[in-house]
Amino acid sequence: MRIVIALGGNALLQRGQKPDAAPQIDNVNIAVDALAPVAKEHELVVTHGNGPQVGVIALQSANDPKLSEPYPFDTLGAMTQGMIGYWLQHAFKNALPEREVVCTVNQTLVDANDPAFDDPTKFVGEVYNEEQAKQFEKERGWVMKADGKYFRRVVGSPIPVGIVEIETIKTLVDNGTTVICSGGGGIPVAQKDGKYVGLEAVIDKDRSGAVLSEELKADMFMILTDVPAVLDNYGTQDECEINRATPAELRDKGFAAGSMGPKVEAACQFVERTGGVAAIGRLADAQQIIAGTAGTIITTDGQYDPK
């Protein structure tokens, strides 16, 4: 099968970990240990989040006295694509030395008039307490919102409408290359007067992954996170895993916008537009999800037969 897998940025830099390179590289190696068997058996395309990482680099840029102004978020997105993509490429090449592995720095097309620019929702960077958050709002003009019991910076997250370099990515995949692309949702760009221009935003990697999967004609789009499946009645005594579902059934559950909601929406979008299979589950269960024995699997009729 042709499989697109989306890895969360928090899987690479977990809550509470220092944003040093070493722990992130360790986490990447753990991720690739789980994904290398998939790459051996299938055409694999990997995309990843960058929320924690792009926030760290944005803070460094804002604190650099040599800069007259911080680097813009499209440039920061390109930096994280190269950094995380290199770590993944390095780990895949070590795990599968016979396989060609490529990381691309690529752009994702959005609408410059997307209302998301006026209502930032995408979490980036580290977590802070309420006092620190208020200080950043006052001193830096950042927009801060609650993320669980902490606060994090938020930026605009427009809806992706296309992958600019999709034909190059297709060619690589068609030739048997394991491709790491659209990292951080892709570098956000819009078209103005026939030219591409970068934008101050961070695109949701799951929504971008759904577009990438559709344009690649993938058989399966997998969103791998730190939970075993989509949970119904989350946080209550009736909490339970949803193992099979249709897009309509999942949408009826009304998952929170700040947590599972974007993942569910991205998975449903892919299934509705292509008739393919989407799945949400734990990174360590990647092979079992493909086999149909783990995770939440979303199809047009709610059924899944891996054979």
Contact 196, 164 (CB under 8 A): yes
| Token duo for residue 87 | 């770590």
Q: Which of 50, 125, 263, 276 is catalytic?
A: 263
Q: Is residue 307 helix, strand or coil?
A: coil
Q: Pinpoint the alpha helices (H) of the chain.
A: 9-12, 21-41, 51-63, 73-95, 130-140, 166-174, 205-216, 247-251, 261-274, 286-291
195 counts as catalytic? no
Strand partners, 45: 4, 179
Most confident of 20-24, 48-52, 126-130: 20-24
Strand partners, 197: 190
Q: Which of 10, 82, 258, 261 is catalytic?
A: 10
Q: Which residue has the higher pLDDT, 29 or 260?
A: 29
Which tens digit of pLDDT belongs to each residue from 148-188?
889 998 988 999 999 999 999 999 999 999 999 999 999 99
Which tens digit of pLDDT belongs to each residue from 60-70?
998 899 999 99
Q: What is the mean pLDDT of the chain?
A: 92
217 counts as catalytic? no
Q: What is the pTM for the complete model shown? A: 0.91
The gap between the terminal CA atoms of the chain, to the nearest Å, is 11
Q: Which of 9, 49, 77, 85 is catalytic?
A: 9
Q: Which of 122, 125, 186, 281 is catalytic?
A: 122
Q: Which of 85, 184, 205, 276 is catalytic?
A: 205
- Confidence bin at 258 (pLDDT 50/70/90): low
Contact 224, 8 (CB under 8 A): yes
263 counts as catalytic? yes
